[in-house]
């Protein structure tokens, strides 16, 4: 069940340690008596396209080998089921590929983010890539459109992040004492009069890291309704932007036991290319009018 639901059970006093309430941060000691209520874990209702077909998902598998599978995740699809989400990517993949009982997410993407989602087919592969992620040995790169003209070719950001969990989605901010978070922003091109297309490499994988770091630098991500600029987002609506402009475009690492390189990339989806083209056309029209 979702972690948020487990936390609610603890905070509401339904989980007891030594017959008393306990804080979620409490660490169990030898001899503690834990009471867990009889909470059912009902299977989520299946939410499939009309006709019940998962062909659309199969078509989005961009790489598969003996150890890993890479999905080009569309924006708007959660990586896993949870509160208010009956079926996410991993549940749908398990239904599509029942012959692979050990399918597990290697990492996560925000629901509004598209692109490379890495899924392990074996526990051994999951453990190996998790170790590489912890050690910062996985090269993860994103494309994003941000507000304003980026003034330097490359921008390194090392700003700790702290997460405040509450009802609904978590909110993250830069704060002293937070978890280490490092991002590197590289300018690809300025777009129109109000935006810049960037490539972002992240050395850590904190919740909402790119979105918060970009906003911290004064260049919030286009279409971000949590950390972004509402007026800027509204202005991009006429160019056809209906989602957050953040796309995981490549993943790469070296398998430690063999030295073999793993690399996969997924281009910008067409709806984001259309936004860039519309902004470029608009700039040209304005130039011609003046």
Which residues are part of the catalytic machinery?
110
Three-state SS letters, the chain: CCHHHHHHHHHCCCCEECCECCCCCCCCCCCCCEECCCCCCCCCCCCCCHHHCCHHHHCCEEEECCCEEEEEECCCCCCCCECCECCCHHHHHHHHCCCCCCCEECCCCCCCCEEEEEEECCHHHHHHHHHHHHCCCCEEEEEEEEECCCCCCEEEEECCEEEECCCCCCEEEECCCCECCEEEEEEEEEECCCEEEEEEEECCCCCCHHHHHHHHCCCCECCCCCCCCHHHHHHHHCCCCCCCCEEEEEEEEECCCCCCEEEEECCCCHHHHHHHHHHHHHHHHHHHHC
Would you say 102 and 96 are in contact if contact means Cβ atoms under 8 Å apart?
no
């Amino acid at each position: 069940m979702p972690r948020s639901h487990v936390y609610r059970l603890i905070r509401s006093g339904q989980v007891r340690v030594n017959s008393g309430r306990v804080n979620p941060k409490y660490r169990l000691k030898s001899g503690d008596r834990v009471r867990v209520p009889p909470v059912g874990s009902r299977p989520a209702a299946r939410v499939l396209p009309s006709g019940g077909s998962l062909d659309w998902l199969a078509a989005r598998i961009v790489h598969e080998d003996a150890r890993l599978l890479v999905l080009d995740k569309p924006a708007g699809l959660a990586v896993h089921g949870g509160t208010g989400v009956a079926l996410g990517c991993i549940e749908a993949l398990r239904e599509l590929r029942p012959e692979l009982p050990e399918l597990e997410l290697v990492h996560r993407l925000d629901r509004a983010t598209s692109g490379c989602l890495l899924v392990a087919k074996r526990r051994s592969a999951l453990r190996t890539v998790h170790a590489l992620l912890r050690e910062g040995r996985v090269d993860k790169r994103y494309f994003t459109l941000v507000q304003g003209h980026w003034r330097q070719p490359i921008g390194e950001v090392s700003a700790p992040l702290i997460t405040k969990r509450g009802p609904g989605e978590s909110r993250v901010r830069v704060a002293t004492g937070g978890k280490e978070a490092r991002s590197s922003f590289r300018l690809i091109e300025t777009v129109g009069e109000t935006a810049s297309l960037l490539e972002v490499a992240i050395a850590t994988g904190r919740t909402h890291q790119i979105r918060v770091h970009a906003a911290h630098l004064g260049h919030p991500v286009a279409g971000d309704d949590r950390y972004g600029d509402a007026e800027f987002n509204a202005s991009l609506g006429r160019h056809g932007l209906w989602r957050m402009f953040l796309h995981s475009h490549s993943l790469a690492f070296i398998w430690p036991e063999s030295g073999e390189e793993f690399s996969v990339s997924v281009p910008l989806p067409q709806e984001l290319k259309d936004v860039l083209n519309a902004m470029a056309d608009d700039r040209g029209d304005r130039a011609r009018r003046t």
